[in-house]
Chains A and B, each alone.
Chain A
């Protein structure tokens, strides 16, 4: 049978050890689709290797566990900080009241200038009005003096 021959070729062991090439892995995936029972065989081989590996394990230095978990915590804290930076809350400061309009900030300067110019114009108008009044009074006075002198001649 094709499947038995395939299994006996040692392809599963080659795959489990990480020695299978890309094309062999591709072929294995194809065979897994054709023969789902192949998954059971792979599982059995890997479980057997797992049992052996667990019994042969070498305890890593105890400091290594702290180092690994510390690094994982740092990575997570860094990720959280980056997420917090990008995850800001948008606050809409525009009024919901439709009676208000939004204008460019230059309009503020424009209105201040208009206000100052209008004040200057107002003071100038008052000043020239008073000047005009004074000159009118002067001319009225000088004409009355002329009329008074004529009869004395």
Chain B
């Protein structure tokens, strides 16, 4: 889905959100809703659960916009993105089998994941899409936590290059 590349001022938008401005809420939902929904679908396969997660994400964003200010995060979308992934992981707890990464096979992150070497790809999948800690991934794969940390670092260096290209 093509969205307009118009950038909305984060500071003004947060001010309006904290004041409970319904116009600002609608603007945020219309502008960022599809992007956040896609981030959630990368983690959750079930549509109903994904909708439930998106509801929780927006209720949190609208009611606790002050948390963005307090977090010290730089961009509003960066903060919302992390909130959406965390909420999706929380809702997805107990989901068996593959996650929702097949929902949007053309997404940048999935294309990046598919291009990673097998070992690093497994580590990245478990850390990002399943939300597992490095220690948990190490136990699961029979590796040392340092090895997992090193592979994840390699993945992040590769992601930096991928994003720049």
Which A residues are within 8 Å of any B CB, using their own CB?
A: 8-14, 16-19, 21, 29, 39, 42-43, 45-61, 64-65, 67-69, 71-72, 75-76
- Closest Cβ of chain A to B5, distance in Å, is 7
Residues of A within 8 A of B36 (CB): 53
- Closest Cβ of chain A to B100, distance in Å, is 10
Residues of A within 8 A of B157 (CB): 8-10
Are B74's CB and A49's CB within 8 A? no
Interface residues on B, range: 35 or more
Closest to A24 in B: B149
Does B77 belong to the interface (CB within 8 Å)?
Answer: yes
Does B25 belong to the interface (CB within 8 Å)?
Answer: yes
Are B3's CB and A39's CB within 8 A? no
Does B59 belong to the interface (CB within 8 Å)?
Answer: yes
- Closest Cβ of chain A to B63, distance in Å, is 7
Interface CB pairs A-B, < 8 A, 23: A10-B156, A10-B157, A10-B159, A16-B81, A19-B127, A19-B128, A29-B72, A45-B160, A46-B81, A49-B81, A50-B35, A52-B108, A54-B4, A56-B35, A56-B108, A57-B3, A57-B34, A58-B1, A58-B41, A60-B33, A60-B37, A65-B29, A76-B20
Task: Using A53-B77, A57-B33 as known contacts, list a sample of 7 further A-B pairs with CB atoms less than 8 Å apart, ordered by residue number in A.
Answer: A21-B134, A46-B81, A49-B77, A54-B34, A59-B37, A65-B29, A67-B55
Taking A18-B86, A50-B77, A56-B107 as contacts, is the C-beta distance between A10 and B160 under 8 angstroms? Answer: yes
Residues of A within 8 A of B128 (CB): 17, 19
Q: In the complex, A50→B86 CA distance in Å?
A: 17
Residues of B within 8 A of A53 (CB): 35-36, 38-39, 77, 81
- Closest Cβ of chain A to B13, distance in Å, is 13
Are A57's CB and B63's CB within 8 A? no
Closest to A61 in B: B51
Which B residues are within 8 Å of any A CB, using their own CB?
A: 1-5, 7, 20, 22, 25-26, 29, 31-39, 41, 51, 54-55, 58-59, 62-63, 72, 74-75, 77-78, 81-82, 85-86, 103-104, 106-108, 127-128, 133-134, 152-153, 155-160, 163
Residues of B within 8 A of A47 (CB): 7, 75, 77
Q: In the complex, A11→B86 CA distance in Å?
A: 19
Taking A58-B104, A75-B59 as contacts, is the C-beta distance between A49 and B72 under 8 angstroms? Answer: no
Taking A16-B78, A46-B77, A60-B33 as contacts, is the C-beta distance between A55 and B58 under 8 angstroms? Answer: no
- Closest Cβ of chain A to B118, distance in Å, is 19
Residues of B within 8 A of A48 (CB): 163
- Closest Cβ of chain B to A11, distance in Å, is 7
Residues of A within 8 A of B20 (CB): 76
Are B34's CB and A58's CB within 8 A? yes
Taking A10-B156, A19-B127, A75-B59 as contacts, is the C-beta distance between A42 and B74 under 8 angstroms? Answer: yes
Are A18's CB and B34's CB within 8 A? no
Residues of B within 8 A of A42 (CB): 74-75, 78
